[in-house]
Homo-oligomer: A and B are copies of this chain.
């Protein structure tokens, strides 16, 4: 038997622990070409909130009563597939559970890089790849430009800050509270905005970027997006990656500066990182090199044990993480 967190209710607004239940799942015997994986690291990510709704989205809604899918790193403990052998570390998307069996192609062996295995759920995984292609492809960032990134201490934002510095941009990062702001500065942020401190975001952004911003990397939506619209230079590019501030809000805040899209000829481009899967090689090559060279620091917030998973997920929405939020089994 495996243990897995399942979705038992679809939340309106902020989810709660009661939306999830830990269940025993029967594990079928290994079929030919299958493997059994014992999970070591589970990922909790903001996008999962969207999949809890029964709504049109880029990913299928989670089914009620079924295990919560998501990124995980595990170890092969038994294999009837030639491509995998016991002891191999693999990445997969079977999510919030301690063990899983499945056909070998559902498991990707981790590349042989001298990098801690859980990075494949963080800066060398989906969040890092989101930062990399969002900044360099969607926003077409160039040396000398001024970048504003929200949730700059988060899994995606902390990668955006560091990649932008490597590429020669001026970086303004927003984060909540003194500790995260210090972290953003240590990652190389030129200016840090504490959105929890007194004063408006518009004023803080104007002080940090008196000449305006060329790029906004949006992880939060809402008031940050509005402030970025107000500060955008002509022909600014907005990489629209997520809007965590609004995921649990049934009455999203008004965006007062929408008309600046027209006046400043802003290009706002939404993107889903899965669309870049065919370019993962480029990302692994360049980001992997930066990471082995020590040019990318990876902050992590680690919770212990399968039981802690839903709470770790919920804490994403109150800023409970610095860097990547992970669960260690």
Residues on A lying within 8 angstroms of B by beta carbon are 50, 56-58, 221, 225, 234, 240-243, 246-247, 251-256, 258-272, 275
CB-based contact A258/B272 at 8 Å: no
CB-based contact B263/A225 at 8 Å: no
> Shortest distance in angstroms between A267's beta carbon and chain B's nearest beta carbon?
5
CB contacts (< 8 Å) of A259 on chain B: these are 50, 221, 243, 246-247
CB-based contact A270/B275 at 8 Å: no
> Shortest distance in angstroms between A261's beta carbon and chain B's nearest beta carbon?
4
Given known contacts A252-B254, A254-B252, A254-B254, is B263 in contact with A268 (CB within 8 Å)?
A: no
CB-based contact B221/A263 at 8 Å: no
Is chain A's interface secondary structure helix, strand, loop, or mixed overall? Answer: loop
CB contacts (< 8 Å) of A260 on chain B: these are 270
CB-based contact A272/B268 at 8 Å: no
CB-based contact A221/B258 at 8 Å: yes
Provide the bound-state CA to CA distance between A240 and B265, in Å: 8
Given known contacts A252-B254, A253-B254, is B265 in contact with A261 (CB within 8 Å)?
A: no
CB-based contact A258/B255 at 8 Å: yes
CB contacts (< 8 Å) of A247 on chain B: these are 259
CB-based contact B256/A252 at 8 Å: yes
> Shortest distance in angstroms between A239's beta carbon and chain B's nearest beta carbon?
10
CB contacts (< 8 Å) of A267 on chain B: these are 267-270
Provide the bound-state CA to CA distance between A221 and B241, in Å: 22
CB-based contact A265/B254 at 8 Å: no
> Shortest distance in angstroms between A243's beta carbon and chain B's nearest beta carbon?
5
Instruction: Provide 22 A-B residue pairs closer than 8 Å at the C-beta atoms, listed in order of the A residue.
Output: A56-B263, A58-B234, A58-B263, A58-B264, A221-B258, A241-B262, A242-B262, A253-B254, A254-B254, A254-B255, A260-B270, A261-B268, A261-B270, A262-B271, A264-B270, A265-B269, A265-B271, A265-B272, A266-B268, A267-B269, A268-B268, A268-B269
Provide the bound-state CA to CA distance between A241 and B262, in Å: 6
Given known contacts A267-B268, A269-B267, is B258 in contact with A225 (CB within 8 Å)?
A: yes
CB-based contact A266/B270 at 8 Å: yes
| Nearest-neighbor residue (CB-CB) of A251 within chain B | B254
Provide the bound-state CA to CA distance between A246 and B263, in Å: 13
| Nearest-neighbor residue (CB-CB) of A57 within chain B | B263
CB contacts (< 8 Å) of A266 on chain B: these are 268-270
Provide the bound-state CA to CA distance between A94 and B275, in Å: 50
| Nearest-neighbor residue (CB-CB) of A232 within chain B | B270
**A275: contacting residue among B58, B241, B265, B272, CB under 8 A:** B265
